[in-house]
Amino acid sequence: MKFITSNKHFLKQADESIKELGLNSQQGKLIAFIHEHQEQGLIQKDLSERFHVRGASITSMLQGLEKKGYIERKIPAHNERQKNIYVLPKGLALINDFKLSFQRVEEKIVQNLNEDDQQVLQQLLTKINQNL
């Protein structure tokens, strides 16, 4: 239960940190992931599977990001039944700011941990993520 509470606090801190960018933490992660994988022909289903979110929720997030001019969806010539997702220059400009905001939140979280404790925490979080 403490893990869930800690996660909620982390997300709240992250959302507060990036609020000025006009995003929430989930949208920021989505843009960063799209940017990192867009050359592979990323589609909505890929995002749904990666983030463990229903398709309708991903659709809503993508529509919001598209409306703000951060991403675009294009139909590739070789497959007219899908839309590949790409980050636009306006979205690209946000990625570094988003990553810096998250880095500051992570630094705040571990500020009272020594290097050894930080490494143990990282190892434990990696194991937890592998179980999800």
For residue 81, the domain's CATH number is 1.10.10.10
**pLDDT band, very low/low/confident/very high, at 31 (cuts 50, 70, 90):** very high
118 vs 60: CA distance, rounded Å: 36
3-state secondary structure of 86: strand
58 vs 51: CA distance, rounded Å: 9
| Least confident interval from 10-19, 75-84, 100-109 | 10-19
Phi, psi dihedrals of residue 87, rounded to the nearest 5°: -85, 130
The whole domain housing 102 covers 2-131
- Measured CA to CA in angstroms, residue 56 lies from 19, 62, 73, 76 at distances of 23, 10, 16, 22
**Which of 56, 2, 63, 1 has the alpha carbon at shortest distance from 27?**
63
113 vs 91: CA distance, rounded Å: 34
Q: What is the mean pLDDT of residues 96-110?
A: 84
- Measured CA to CA in angstroms, residue 29 lies from 25, 26, 95, 116, 118 at distances of 6, 5, 9, 28, 22
121 vs 58: CA distance, rounded Å: 30
3 vs 1: CA distance, rounded Å: 5
- For the chain, the maximum distance between any two Cα atoms, rounded to a whole number of angstroms, is 53
Q: What mean pLDDT value characterizes the chain?
A: 86
Question: Domains in the chain: how many in total?
Answer: 1
Say if residue 56's pLDDT is above 80: yes
